[in-house]
A = this chain, B = another copy of it.
């Protein structure tokens, strides 16, 4: 979602991706843009910091950020995740593509992996618990990245 295809203004992008039934306020547009530009899961605090950095004259309340992340999530355009390497929740724009991360336990860098290792075996998993209807999964791979493993 972060590849530049054509010179296209953010206004157009927002226009095409804006969720149904969510009123456009400048705060919501600002938050949406940050999520769009970031492409990686980020925390509410990250969003707040970016907001005040990009719009020093504006005011933003944490409650606004949280309320809107919840609103975006309910509208189906944002995914919330918790991770053992982070002490607070992370949010990302739902891009359509199913994605997992390989995460460095030292520097907490998150690298998306191209394919889902579980894609071909989801049915087998469902069979392991009779009557259970599987709808999804979460997966994180841990270890040490090239920069951190030497120490």
Interface residues of A (CB under 8 A from B): 80-84, 102, 104-105, 111, 113-115, 117-118, 121, 124-126, 128-146, 149
Contact = CB atoms under 8 A, between A and B. Distances in A.
A149 to B, nearest CB: 5
A87 to B, nearest CB: 9
A70 to B, nearest CB: 14
A69 B134 CA distance: 32
Contact of A113 (B82, B115, B128, B138): B128
A76 B115 CA distance: 32
Given A111-B129, A117-B117, A136-B143, 9 more contacts: A80-B84, A81-B84, A82-B82, A82-B84, A102-B125, A102-B132, A113-B125, A130-B146, A136-B142
Nearest to A140: B138
